[in-house]
Structure 1
Amino acid sequence: MSSSRPVPVAPVVAAGAIVLRRREGVLEVLLVHRPKYDDWSFPKGKLDRGEHAAVAAVREVAEETGLAVRLGRPLDDQLYVVQGGRSKVVHYWMARPLDGDDVSAYVPNREIDQVAWVPLEEAATRLSYSRDRATLEQALERRKRTTTLIVLRHGRARARSRWRADDRFRPLLKLGEHQADRLVPLLAAYDVRRLVSSSSTRCVTTLVPYADATGRRIATDDGLSEEGATSLGVAERVQELVDRGRRTVLCSHRPVLPAIFDVLGLEDPRLEPGEMVVVHHRDGQVVATERHAVR
């Protein structure tokens, strides 16, 4: 007699953000009301096909509240069961408004009919779910602002064995160019303002689409290339980027990355081409990291 096993059903994946502001000395959190469920929660929503969770979090906040935000440090995921018995995971980040925090112009609709900045002492009672109250509590523990340094390995490049010219000019493959394009919304989710790269072609080209999209200049550095990197030089450069406290992406090579992570006090994660580590730091100390990839 044969028996059949049920096919595992993938969880529903969503993303959102805990958006905070301080107004007249009062800390407030951004909440939304869904008329379909008559509940108050944080802005969030399901990922589009192929969308990165961090990108979805920023998009959902914009769609549900009208505000553009940048992501800060991550919070714990929420995992629960939705109607029909299917599991759902929601990825959350801390976030801050980018270009103003006025939500008065938001137009109510069938999905979200109210958007409100709610004082913290009121938010805990207004939120409809205990899981959201727990997430808010964690967000308050992590509410101090952080700065982001993204350490990125360049996109997939042509093999060394198939390149006869100077290795510094070895180009990206079509896959690598696709990865570079896919990086644009992901870097934008963290509002990266400073672009620093090895002077090698494969690194610079990895950042060109984001530079073009944002109008920002790529600062190239021979000291971050395979040919020019030294332990002391890398340490000084990375420490300078941390000390300046600007939201920065640093693109380099597999052999150079261990020295970069060593300065940050992190174990080398051995990134694949197109992978990155988002390092959240405050007062020179790393407080959180995330690892992301683009395919």
Structure 2
Amino acid sequence: MRAAGAVLWRTGPDGGDGIEVAVVHRPRYDDWSLPKGKLDPGETVPAAAAREVAEETGFSCVLGPRLSRCHYQVQTGSGAVADKAVTYFSARARDGVFQPNEEVDTLRWLAPPAARALLDYAGEIEALDELSRLGTDLTTVLLVRHAKAGKREHWRGDDDLRPLTPAGNQQADALRTLLPLFGPDRVHSAPRLRCVQTVQPIADDMDVSVTHEPLLSEEGYWSDPDAGLARLRALAADAGTPVVSSQGKVIPHLVRTLAEHDGVPLDDVPSKKGSVWLLSFRRPAIEPVSTDGIPRLVAASYLPPPAAAATSDTE
């Protein structure tokens, strides 16, 4: 059984550096928790997190880094015991008004220490602690591997012009729904048709152009990996949430190198077509200031291709 939730936060009422987080009371369980709930059939984990926030608090939100994942056992309606996994994201509150409902009768906006003291579950305290560790003033780069475009050996034209297959277009459509949950504000891509096509629908929806990034193509990156890494850090140096579309022979090395250099532990670095890495950076102006003035990776998590877009089409 899979579920998702979020630490929903907003700037404190004094307008300073402090934040408040939302804690909800559920009368059915008489507990205080973070907004969370089970995935609907075919729903992605991020979409479920944003939906549950809206349903339980009345607020829309912009998702940020994945904070934690906890596992525990629950009793089902039939009396059987099932494993449950809940993934928590950081979520910045946007517009909304809380209205009591059947699931939640009270919402409290509290400073993190007060929220921590009120929460009833260790897994949710862990998510809140991770938000406090990371902070909220981050740039999250949405690093996308291009969607399915068939096999290189089956394409007779210029490989730069190899387009998405029908399955790839389905994946691009799924990303068009998934990525806006994280509030992207600009779109970049390796100058390959399949890379650009993967993120073009998102750029169209945002009414922005796709900026080409030659250093993040296979040829450009491997001719000078340090320059490619520096370019990604440069994209993270500004506030906001850039989308960056790249290739399978670039992303694993780039992510692994960033993580090793900046001390972010990663067990594995998968990169399936249509997948996304959430790479969250702390900018130099934010404490602790980096000695060389460049943004530092503080969190990295992998989003597999949306299941609704999975097909048997060739890679």
What is the TM-score when the length of structure 2 is the normalising length? 0.79
- Out of 138, 150, 159, the position equivalent to 2:142 is 150
Does residue 13 of structure 2 align to residue 23 of structure 1? yes
Cα 1:262/1:127, change in 2 over 3 Å = closer
- Could you tell me which residue of structure 2 aligns to residue 14 of structure 1? 3
Q: Secondary structure at the match of 2:6?
A: strand
Task: Report the residue type matching 1:23 in the other structure.
Answer: P
Aligned residues between the structures:
280
Does residue 91 of structure 2 align to residue 95 of structure 1? yes
Structure 1 unaligned spans of 5+ = 1-11
Larger radius of gyration: 1
Root mean square deviation of aligned Cα: 2.5
- Out of 288, 297, 301, the position equivalent to 1:290 is 301
Task: Report the residue type matching 1:50 in the other structure.
Answer: G
- Out of 220, 240, 251, the position equivalent to 2:245 is 251
On the 8 A contact 1:239/1:263 being kept in 2, the answer is no
What is the TM-score when the length of structure 1 is the normalising length? 0.84
Task: Report the residue type matching 2:297 in the other structure.
Answer: V
Task: Report the residue type matching 1:136 in the other structure.
Answer: L
1:1-295 pair list within 5 angstroms: 12-21=1-10, 22-24=12-14, 25=16, 27-83=19-75, 84=79, 85-97=81-93, 99-100=94-95, 103=96, 105-226=97-218, 229=221, 230-231=223-224, 233-257=227-251, 260-261=254-255, 264-266=258-260, 269=269, 271-283=271-283, 284-294=295-305, 295=310
On the 8 A contact 2:229/2:258 being kept in 1, the answer is no
Q: Cα deviation per residue 1:193-243 (whole Å; 9 max; x = unaligned)?
A: 111012211011100222233333321234433455531653443232122
Q: Cα deviation per residue 1:8-58 (whole Å; 9 max; x = unaligned)?
A: xxxx21100012232225542101222222222111111111222122111
- Could you tell me which residue of structure 1 aligns to residue 290 of structure 2? none
On the 8 A contact 2:144/2:244 being kept in 1, the answer is yes
Q: Secondary structure at the match of 2:141?
A: strand
Q: Secondary structure at the match of 1:33?
A: strand
Deviation at 1:245, TM superposition (A): 4.0
Deviation at 1:142, TM superposition (A): 3.1
Cα 1:165/1:247, change in 2 over 3 Å = same
Cα 1:183/1:140, change in 2 over 3 Å = same
Q: Secondary structure at the match of 1:278?
A: strand
- The whole-number CA distance in structure 2 between the counterparts of 1:119 and 1:258 is 38
- The whole-number CA distance in structure 2 between the counterparts of 1:236 and 1:81 is 44
Cα 1:163/1:110, change in 2 over 3 Å = same
Task: Report the residue type matching 1:86 in the other structure.
Answer: A
Deviation at 1:176, TM superposition (A): 0.8
Q: Secondary structure at the match of 2:40?
A: coil
Deviation at 1:265, TM superposition (A): 4.7
- The whole-number CA distance in structure 1 between the counterparts of 2:119 and 2:253 is 45
Moved beyond 6 Å, runs of 4+: none
Deviation at 1:172, TM superposition (A): 0.7
- The whole-number CA distance in structure 2 between the counterparts of 1:285 and 1:39 is 37
Task: Report the residue type matching 2:170 in the other structure.
Answer: H
Deviation at 1:136, TM superposition (A): 3.0
On the 8 A contact 1:20/1:28 being kept in 2, the answer is yes
Query: Percent same amino acid among aligned pairs?
Result: 36
Structure 2 unaligned spans of 5+ = 261-265, 284-294, 311-315
Deviation at 1:154, TM superposition (A): 0.5
